Chains A and B, each alone.
Chain A
């Protein structure tokens, strides 16, 4: 056997990725067509390229399309953020949901809204970044000091504690402030309901920047996933690259939360499934996680719209319903869970 990468395996991965990326727009269009009135393909295309102000076109352009685009972006962003976090913490259980990043961003947004009133979406993105960043710093501080420091268990505990704390603070703020509660109740459960094109446009650049950055440094991420000692002995500066990776995570998770609230489990499940199917090389993990996450959130949202015939069912709830059993299965079967 030669140490050249077997051409067959890489070609297979490429075909799978291209197929996934082709299915994604099809699924998106299908999702746009579904709803109280099922719209034909041509009226969707006309609504995008030849908008005439009719009711059908309004439904597509103002309601369904932003919702589907938001789902795709949020799913991809959270899945990549989870994959990167698993690399930099050498912890298969790391994800923006479990390590408090989502909760930090959500708390920052709710805090800002209840103190300063509902601001423009653009400024809320930066609030979310700040919250995500502060949570990341806190969790890594808690996780790396004191007894058991640096172990995967300690980090997950720190994340769980911070998540619980920030989530209850968020709830407390909302209970005390009725008006904010009404406008963000669905959002705090993780929801794509009522997203507007302006909101999508406000966060999309940050998400795409995060995606691009993640695609540029796969080799650095793979080496980071071997642990700080190995990374350093291979000539990498783990502190610098962890910082770079953390900035990417904060961009992705922060903008996802600003857009759709703290949706859990995508960032945990998708990277796992991806690793099981395409291996441990981040060159493949990142694009597959992006496509897989987008696909999962889109499907979950479409499913909840269809099953409950309701526009306002939060996708975060659907996701947790799918995610919780998977998480239990994972904890029982992975080597980490056994030890």
Chain B
């Protein structure tokens, strides 16, 4: 089983990755290297292939061409269980069965760690305890997931992926549909997983300023291609925002974090 310290070496990258849905190319010949032990944000307009790229990175979607490499080896050559021990995934808007409690959900994260007929172990309990405490869900353990607020529900699902104890975590639009307070909460959590546990986190984000504030690395996509892949200071420029979103903008430093902040002016005619 991988330990957090392995994160430095375990890397995730794509080589000539293309994904097509019924002959429409959604991700087009991407070469991308995800920095280990850092927070990477995938951003871009609707339909730019962000979520598709994330699903391909997680092995949930098979590439049409090219490959996703996990530690240098094609992810399709690992078994689903081997992938699940390295990569945790929070899908977009997952739905828990009615009545499933937060604790029961977190416990499902231990699935890849348990062979077919293995019993629940102390190690499993410890992993769930940690996951719930990291997400601040310990007190809500016996509450049904479907009765929680949007932010709590998102944290409950993150708790499940944390109980999975993977060095890599992929989050698909974790802040969409959440109010401001819950957005901050989820982003702070994602960022603390990187800072304190050395995890590699890749997240799809809609909000450019959120991405620039929390991410170490920003990938800007347009029509299935990478326009820029670099630290936020290099990606958030007037030129790139214009090219990707067709929007004129002003970039100013975030008064709090000094990270670049995009103020849109108008849509280009």
Q: Give the interface of A toward B (CB within 8 A).
A: 1-5, 90, 92, 219, 222-223, 225-227, 229-230, 232-237, 275-276, 279-281, 334-336
Contacts and interface: CB of A to CB of B under 8 A. Distances in A.
Contact of B112 (A1, A2, A234, A276): A234
A56 to B, nearest CB: 48
Nearest to A216: B117
A227 B84 CA distance: 15
Contacts of B108: 222-223, 226, 230, 234
Contacts of A222: 108
Interface stretch (B86-94, B238-246, B250-258): B86-94
Interface stretch (B124-132, B219-227, B228-236): B124-132
Contacts of A280: 97-101, 104
Chain B contact patch, size range:
35 or more
Interface string B117-143: 000100001001100100000110110
Interface in B35-94: 58-60, 79-85, 87-89, 91, 94
B106 A1 contact: no
B103 interface: yes
A225 B94 CA distance: 12
B263 interface: no
Given A2-B125, A236-B111, A226 B80 contact: no
A234 B101 contact: no
Contacts, number: 89
Given A1-B138, A3-B141, A223-B111, A236 B96 contact: no
A276 B106 contact: no
B60 A229 contact: yes
B174 interface: no
A62 B175 CA distance: 66
B39 to A, nearest CB: 19
B61 to A, nearest CB: 10
18 contacts: A1-B138, A3-B125, A90-B95, A92-B97, A219-B114, A222-B108, A223-B108, A223-B111, A225-B97, A226-B108, A229-B60, A229-B89, A230-B91, A230-B94, A234-B164, A235-B79, A235-B84, A237-B80
A232 to B, nearest CB: 6
Contacts of B59: 232
A90 B98 CA distance: 10
A280 B96 CA distance: 10
Contacts of A235: 79-85, 111-112
A3 B109 contact: no
B172 to A, nearest CB: 10
Contact of A233 (B58, B101, B141): B58
A281 B104 contact: yes
B97 A90 contact: yes
Interface in B129-170: 129, 132, 138-139, 141-142, 146, 161, 164
A1 to B, nearest CB: 5
Please give me the 10 A-B residue pairs with the lowest Cβ-Cβ distance, nearest first: A235-B84, A235-B112, A3-B128, A235-B81, A233-B89, A234-B111, A280-B100, A229-B91, A3-B129, A1-B141
B107 interface: yes
Contacts of A90: 95, 97
Contacts of A225: 97
B106 A3 contact: yes
Given A92-B98, A237-B80, A3 B111 contact: no
A217 to B, nearest CB: 9
Given A1-B138, A3-B103, A233 B98 contact: no
A233 to B, nearest CB: 4
Nearest to B141: A1
Nearest to B91: A229
A234 B138 contact: no
Contacts of B128: 3
A335 B142 contact: no
Contacts of B80: 232, 235-237
Contacts of A1: 138-139, 141-142
B201 to A, nearest CB: 15
B58 A3 contact: no
Contacts of B88: 233
A281 B129 CA distance: 19
A169 to B, nearest CB: 34
A237 B129 CA distance: 27
Contacts of B60: 229, 232-233
Given A230-B108, A280-B99, 14 more contacts: A3-B103, A5-B120, A92-B97, A92-B98, A227-B95, A229-B89, A229-B91, A230-B94, A232-B60, A233-B87, A275-B98, A280-B101, A281-B104, A335-B146
A235 B164 CA distance: 10
